[in-house]
Structure 1
Amino acid sequence: MDIQDAMSASPQRPAAPHEIPGPSPHVRSHLEQGITVTEIHGITDLGTVTEIRDHLDAVTTRHSPRLIVDLRHVEFLDCSLLGLLCRARRRTAQRSGQLTLVCVRPWHLHILEAARLGAFFQPSATVQDAVCRQRQDT
């Protein structure tokens, strides 16, 4: 765990290494062909960042996590979600895993490009496209 992770660690009990956290109003995960798909929903801002961070931390805890983050159901995002995506990407890379992003809304894609994150995430249009990309990369 690095200093940034330690500073923002939640006092809640973390999920077991292979356990998918339970759903909450803004984030839920399920398995798709052996890959964890985390769907983020609704408005994401400072009010929801802790809930989403804790969930993403739980699904990126194990070695070699394979994660797809699906933003298709996000109505609003700000820099707090961008920070969480970067954090999840870093945690996944540190654990020799893969993170693929699903993002189709033009405004969200514009925000990713404006933040110069489009090249890091290379968003897919569907979960199935993201699954195929991860399968090709392994």
Structure 2
Amino acid sequence: MSENHTKPEEHRSGGEGARVRPATVVALRGEIDLLTAPGLAARLDTLTSRPHPDLVLDLRPVAFIDCTGLGVLCRTRNRARARQGRLRLVADSEEFLRLLRTTGLGGAFDVQPGLPAPVVEALVPAGAPGEGAA
């Protein structure tokens, strides 16, 4: 799992005077299943523990995701929303999109085929000077 922090992106959840928060991009690889879900859930819980989390999960390199993995995504979405934040998924796999539709989660996530333009423009490599690991 690799993680990049972006420069602040405007996040309007509170109207006038809304705070500017950085987006965190997490690229997931391999499989998200019963064996890997606990560690991933713990990391995503940490990333969604702050107020107004803005999390982008890049799932394009993920080869497999099972119902346990979907549960982790749902939990992460719920935690982000409970803290007035957001979760965006980046996925271009027709198989994954079909899985979301089949399980009734087709409209539950903000799914995009590529990284959002403001996030791509603002990506800072992990470990860059001035950027701490979350």
Give the TM bin, normalised by the shorter chain: 0.7 to 0.9
Listed as ranges, the matches of 1:1-138 within 5 Å are: 27-33=1-7, 34-129=22-117, 131=119
Give the number of aligned pairs: 106
Considering fraction of residues, name the structure with more helix: 1
User: What percent of counterpart residues are identical?
Assistant: 35
For residues 70-109 of structure 1, the C-alpha deviation after alignment (integer angstroms, 9 at most, x for no partner) is: 1101001100110000000000001010111111111111
Q: CA RMSD in A?
A: 1.6
Aligned equivalents of 1:86 and 1:48: distance in 2?
16
Q: Show structure 2 runs of 5+ residues with no match.
A: 8-21, 121-134
TM-score (norm 1): 0.71
**Offset at 1:129?**
4.8
**Offset at 1:60?**
0.4
Considering fraction of residues, name the structure with more strand: 2
Computing the radius of gyration from Cα coordinates, the structure with the larger value is 2
Answer yes or no: is the 8 Å Cα contact 2:90–2:111 preserved in 1.
yes
Q: Show structure 1 runs of 5+ residues with no match.
A: 1-26, 133-138
TM-score (norm 2): 0.73
Answer yes or no: is the 8 Å Cα contact 1:124–1:130 preserved in 2.
no
Which structure ranks higher in relative contact order (CA pairs < 8 Å, sequence separation ≥ 6)?
2
